[in-house]
Amino acid sequence: MARLSDRAFKILAAEVKRCAAAEGIGGDVQARIVMKRLEKLRRQGDTPAGKPELHQAVSDVFPDFSDKVLDNAVRANRGPGLFSYVGWGFLGLASLVAGIWVLNLPYPPIRRPVARTAPILLLPSFISMDHNYRQAIAKVEQADQLVNRATSDADFELGATKVSEAQAHLDALPIWFLGYEPQVYCRFFGCTWRFTLDEFEAARATIGRMEAQLFQEQNALTQLQTAEAAVATAKQQYQQAAEPSAQQLAVANWRTALDQVSLIPEQTLAGRTAQQKLVGYQRDFETLVGLVANSEQANTLITAAQQFAWQAAQASQNPPHSAAEWEKIETLWEQAIAGLARVSPENDPAGYVKAQELTAQYTRNLGDIRTREEAERTAEQALAKAQNQIQQLLASIPDESSPADIARSTAQIQGIINELEKIQPGTTAHPKATELLGFAQAKLQELQ
């Protein structure tokens, strides 16, 4: 290696020329002296000259020689170091890798000629194919287990990941290379991708089927989550509803949500889960809505019975009443009691207790009405009989009465008095009976 490189020589020569021009007369002679020194260093072979040596060669002739130019010359005079060799090595290696990469591109026009002439250059492809085949088979089996035997949503999530990974590995296997067996590689490493195009298509079909199944499962899961949220919302709305109209709307929404749960396909995991949850949802619906409905039904029956009782009480005002009127009132009380009897203790225990209390009260009232009806009928019959006897008595009295006729008339009048005394106060016949009783008693005294 020269002590002064060509590049460093040129840098110093340019500065020498400049300095010689600056000297004027005699500068050319000084320049030739310095250039001979530099030529001598250029011809010598040894370690590169350093800055002190270069400075010594020029400074005695040109004291104003640029120190910066000397630094540049020293840098240019350094030989290629270790890093330079490493750089060239990396460049060569990168070129080699790039070339092998081009030869391993997944295009038949490139790979087939290389596979016939220099298959060793396709070693990266062989390693990649072997790896992708192993991974594809493993991922397909894992995905099949996770998807077809899933017990939770997490299984489907992991199964979807395995399906994507298996699909990526299958995509990395070139279809045109299936069945090709590189003898050199397989001799040393063994090959595992010896499967046919039909098997490759079957693996792709399995992946496609699982992707479709995962799509269905995800849709079913979304439907289940939406339906569950709707059930919870409707239940909360029903519990918080203060008006009957709001309760009816909540019940309608609740039923719609339950229908949504029942419509989730049963062949999916979400569908099977929905069928299990639907039993509990329906039980909650029937329990909560059924209790309120039964309570409302009991309240309706009690209210209707109270209406009959109110009408009966109103009709009972201002007695006396005829037997027919008492019978109508009796019918109203019976209808009220019959309505209360329809309240079931199983459906509404509280309503049943209230219904029994009202039944006891209404039964007592019904008994009073029946007593008054019986008294009214007895009074009406007694008055009619007494009036009939009076008519017979008046028709049988002779113009001239004998003692026997008087005795007979007295007995008839006493019978009339007995009938009239049967008529109780508070009946419609009592005022008339009182009047006739006074007349009969006066007539009896007259005959006696």
Q: What is the pLDDT of residues 24-49, one digit of tens each?
A: 777 788 888 888 888 888 888 777 87
- Determine the angle formed by the axes of helices 153-171 and 197-240, rounding to 10 degrees: 150
Which of 67, 59, 58, 79 shows the shortest CA–CA distance to 13?
58
Question: For residue 2, what are the β-bridge partners?
Answer: 45
376 exposure class (CB count in 10 Å sphere: 0-12, 13-18, 19+) = buried
Which of 86, 26, 96 shows the shortest CA–CA distance to 62?
26
Q: Which of 325-329, 339-343, 399-403, 407-411 has the lowest mean pLDDT?
A: 399-403
- The number of residues in the chain equals 448
Indicate if the pLDDT at residue 331 is higher than 60.
yes
**What three-state secondary structure class fits 45?**
strand
Q: Contact at 8 Å (CB) between 261 and 228? A: yes
CB atoms < 10 A from the CB of 396, how many? Answer: 11
**What three-state secondary structure class fits 1?**
coil
Q: Where does the pLDDT of residue 306 fall: very low under 50, low under 70, confident under 90, or very high at 90 and above?
A: very high
Tell me what pLDDT residue 310 has: 95
CA pair distance 59, 65, nearest whole angstrom: 6
Tell me what pLDDT residue 184 has: 47
Tell me what pLDDT residue 20 has: 82
CA pair distance 35, 13, nearest whole angstrom: 7
Tell me what pLDDT residue 314 has: 93
Delimit the domains of the chain by residue range. 6-79, 302-375, 381-447
b vs e for 248-286, b when ≥16 Cβ sit within 10 Å of the residue's Cβ? Answer: eebbebbeebbebbeebeeebbbbebbeebbeebeeebe
